[in-house]
Amino acid sequence: MTNTKKYNELVEKIKELEYWQEIERRRADLDAGNGKVMTLEQVIKTMQKKKAKAKGIKL
């Protein structure tokens, strides 16, 4: 196995671990009552507002 291939595999594994760590953090927040559960429609609307705000557009 080449060094580049090993490196890429390690990077992918790190990304996967970071993803699962973030999921666990959010689950813990929900369990502690600090999170917010939204419908898919609410998530889309929230993301559209954030994107517009980043571009300087007011909705």
Splitting the chain (59 residues) into consecutive groups of 10 residues, what average pLDDT does each group show?
Answer: 90 93 87 81 91 77
| Separation CA 30–CA 24 (nearest Å) | 10
Domain layout of the chain by residue ranges: 3-55
At residue 44, the pLDDT reads: 93
Q: Which of 39, 51, 42, 36 is nearest to 59 (CA)?
A: 51
| Separation CA 43–CA 25 (nearest Å) | 18
